[in-house]
């Protein structure tokens, strides 16, 4: 039975029951009145039979008429009234009279009001029935469109539940398809890691972006299969096993980038790695991979060769990959399961942890952390969206070090939380003195600080006492770190948003994993990593990634921002793709002060 028929039948039964209740109540009260009258008459007859009038001392009979000698007793007062001077025996008027018309009107007044109300809402009920019929028709069309069975006898709630389940399945499939579109041109589908295009774009970024680590290492890993009749499936299983082991070994470097360059060739990029660390890591990787259980049946132990080369910003990716390939060939000449790398002796000496700890402690005391502000430009509003706070360290050597250089050392020394506190308070005070409208600042926060209970308690106190105004700040989180600690961070981020902070995820595009945070967290903005933006105008794979990212944000009120824009062609391509805004040297260098709206020169 349809829902509109159920409602209409229910309304008819409601009206019928109202009339029946009205009749039953009136009949009940009339019957009660008649019973009371009969009862009083019976009481009179009983009284007369027990006390005859001729024997009453207060009555006298003269000439066959009763005369009243004295006042009647209280027991006879209900039955004796005076007719002039003569007593007459009958029930008193308040007992003889039953229910009057007025009594019945007063009794039926609530029911009459109820019936009037039912009559008054009748047009609304008819309108409601029509809307229900339209809803049923639309539900029927929707179920037909979704290829769901429809029966008129089915409970409407069950029908809607089927629709909801079907839509949820479609939404899940749509999310999977969008994720596939995001990474279609950048992923090796057999190993679920990046491909050559993905690796080259990330490598170019680290070689050219001044905000990243100035040096690092690139590893080329080549697998050999000594068996002559080995199936492709077994080869693929070995490659997958190597990928898993390398991922575990490189887990301590969050910026690590791994990709598949050819059938049996893997590449690994580790920003910030020193020469000694690269040599130790190469030897360790060769030892672990050659002794893996998936190589246990091999008779020939010449299985793994690793070549690595140290890089420094300013080098070309072509030159670097040529040197890495030469190192790989040298490793093959050295013998089975060998690792070899070129260590440039002219590269600057890396300072140790003791120097960094002292330097960072002194920088906090001496206020040697410098803040810069890079505007985020919106082409739709033709104005500034916000400013990202960039932190530099004025070292004791006279250099200005980017955050990418000193933050990893601060993490090793346990000083990241102290630096985050310093930056937040300095930005909050600067916001009070500048007093500019619409110039919200975004501050990069370490997940290590947010998960630290003492730091979290400190932030809560600062927000409560007004030292930090949450509505004036946005907090940025690295996508890799967010996904790594997602379960622990999720309730914290929800609380930050309730306090008034805007949430931003940056470095989007370095990871190829699914991103549940766009569905489960109130993210306000996604910032695409410069490695994806670099040369976007002629990189179709990167364009496909951005289209997939934009599609995944439809209907979620999430703005997608490009970072590291340096060329006019890049910016024009990004606008055509649908990116809301961007930041980079094409628009403005990092500024020493905040700027208000309508003051950014394009």
Pick the CATH number of 187-342 from 3.30.70.270, 3.30.420.40, 3.40.50.720, 2.40.128.20: 3.30.70.270
Structure tokens belonging to residue 601: 């020169």
Binning pLDDT at 50, 70 and 90, where does residue 395 land? confident
Binning pLDDT at 50, 70 and 90, where does residue 308 land? very high
Given a cut of 90, whether residue 151 has pLDDT beyond it is no
**Which of 272, 282, 270, 333 is CA-nearest to residue 306?**
282
Domain ranges of the chain: 3-120, 125-183, 187-342, 373-386+414-583
Q: Which residues contact 217 (CB under 8 A, 6 or more apart)?
A: 269, 270, 273, 277, 278, 281, 308, 309, 310, 311, 341
CA distance 429 to 414: 25
Q: Three-state DSSP class for 509?
A: coil
pLDDT value at position 484?
82
Given a cut of 50, whether residue 84 has pLDDT beyond it is no
Q: Where are the alpha helices (DSSP H) in 121-259?
A: 122-145, 156-183, 196-208, 232-249
Could you report the per-residue pLDDT of 400-444, keeping only the tens digit for each? Answer: 888 877 887 888 788 999 999 999 999 988 866 665 455 688 999
Q: Which residue has the higher pLDDT, 346 or 41?
A: 41
Structure tokens belonging to residue 503: 């949430």
Structure tokens belonging to residue 36: 């009371």
Q: Which residue has the higher pLDDT, 394 or 119?
A: 394
Pick the CATH number of 373-386+414-583 from 3.30.2090.10, 3.20.20.450, 3.30.450.20, 2.60.40.10: 3.20.20.450
Could you report the per-residue pLDDT of 104-128, keeping only the tens digit for each? Answer: 666 667 767 777 777 777 777 777 7
Rounded mean pLDDT, 372-395: 85
Quickly list DSSP for 51-65: S-GGG-TTEEEETTE
429-482-505 Cα angle (round to 5): 55
Q: Which residues contact 55 (CB under 8 A, 6 or more apart)?
A: none
Residues linked to residue 372 through DSSP beta bridges, in sequence order: 390
Given a cut of 80, whether residue 72 has pLDDT beyond it is no
pLDDT value at position 221?
93
CA contacts within 13 A on the Cβ side of 467: 12
Task: Please say whether the beta carbons of 566 and 586 come within 8 A.
Answer: yes
pLDDT value at position 345?
39
Q: Which residue has the higher pLDDT, 271 or 515?
A: 271
Could you report the per-residue pLDDT of 49-66, keeping only the tens digit for each? Answer: 555 555 566 666 565 555
Binning pLDDT at 50, 70 and 90, where does residue 269 land? very high
CA distance 87 to 69: 10
Mean pLDDT of the chain: 78
């Amino acid at each position: 039975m349809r829902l509109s028929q159920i409602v209409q039948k229910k309304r008819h039964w409601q009206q019928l029951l109202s009339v029946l209740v009205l009749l039953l109540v009136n009949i009940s009260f009339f019957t009660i009145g008649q019973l009371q009258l009969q009862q009083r008459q019976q009481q009179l007859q009983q009284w007369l039979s027990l006390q005859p009038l001729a024997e009453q001392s207060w009555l006298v009979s003269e000439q066959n008429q009763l005369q009243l000698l004295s006042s009647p007793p209280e027991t006879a007062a209900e039955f004796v009234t005076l007719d002039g001077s003569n007593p007459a025996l009958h029930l008193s008027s308040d007992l003889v009279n039953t229910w009057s018309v007025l009594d019945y009107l007063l009794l039926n007044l609530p029911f009459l009001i109820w019936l009037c109300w039912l009559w008054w809402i009748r047009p609304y009920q008819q309108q409601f029935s029509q809307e229900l019929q339209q809803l049923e028709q639309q539900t029927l069309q929707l179920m037909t469109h979704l290829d769901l069975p429809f029966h008129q006898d089915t409970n409407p709630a069950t029908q809607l539940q089927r629709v909801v389940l079907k839509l949820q399945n479609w939404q899940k499939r749509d999310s999977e398809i969008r994720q596939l579109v995001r990474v279609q041109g950048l992923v090796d589908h057999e190993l679920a890691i990046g491909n050559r295009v993905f690796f080259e774009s990330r490598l170019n970024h680290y070689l050219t972006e001044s905000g990243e680590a100035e040096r690092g290492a690139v590893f080329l890993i080549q697998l050999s299969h000594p068996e002559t009749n080995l199936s492709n499936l077994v080869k693929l299983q070995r490659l997958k096993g190597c990928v898993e082991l390398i991922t575990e070994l490189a887990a301590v470097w969050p910026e690590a980038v791994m990709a598949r360059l050819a059938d049996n060739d893997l590449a690994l990029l580790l920003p910030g790695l020193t020469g000694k660390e690269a040599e130790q890591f190469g030897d360790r990787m060769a030892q672990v991979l050659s002794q893996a259980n998936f190589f246990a049946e091999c008779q020939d132990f010449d299985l793994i060769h690793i070549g690595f080369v140290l890089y420094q910003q300013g080098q070309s990716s072509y030159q670097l990959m040529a040197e890495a390939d030469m190192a790989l060939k040298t490793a093959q000449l050295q013998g089975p399961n060998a690792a070899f790398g070129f260590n440039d002796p002219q590269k600057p000496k890396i300072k140790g942890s003791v120097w960094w700890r002292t330097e960072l402690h002194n920088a906090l005391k001496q206020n040697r952390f410098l803040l810069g502000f890079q505007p985020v430009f919106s082409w739709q509003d033709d104005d500034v969206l916000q400013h990202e706070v960039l932190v530099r360290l004025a070292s004791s050597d006279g250099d200005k070090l980017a955050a990418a250089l000193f933050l990893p050392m601060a993490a090793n020394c346990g000083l990241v939380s102290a630096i985050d506190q310093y930056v937040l308070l300095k930005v909050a005070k600067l916001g009070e003195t500048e007093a500019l409208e619409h110039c919200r600042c975004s501050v990069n926060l370490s997940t290590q600080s947010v998960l630290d209970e003492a730091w979290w308690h400190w932030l809560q106190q600062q927000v409560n006492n007004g030292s930090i105004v949450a509505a004036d700040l946005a907090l940025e989180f690295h996508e890799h770190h967010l996904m790594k600690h997602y379960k622990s961070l999720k309730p914290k981020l929800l609380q930050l948003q309730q306090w008034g902070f805007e949430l931003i995820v940056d470095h989007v595009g370095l990871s190829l994993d699914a991103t549940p945070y766009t569905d489960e967290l109130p993210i306000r903005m996604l910032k695409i990593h410069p490695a994806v933006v670099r040369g976007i105008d002629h990189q179709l794979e990167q364009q496909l990634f951005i289209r997939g990212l934009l599609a995944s944000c439809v209907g979620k009120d999430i703005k997608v921002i490009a970072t590291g824009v340096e060329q006019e062609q890049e910016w024009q391509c990004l606008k055509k793709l649908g990116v809301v805004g961007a930041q980079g040297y094409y628009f403005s260098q990092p500024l020493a002060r905040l700027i208000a709206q309508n003051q950014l020169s394009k």
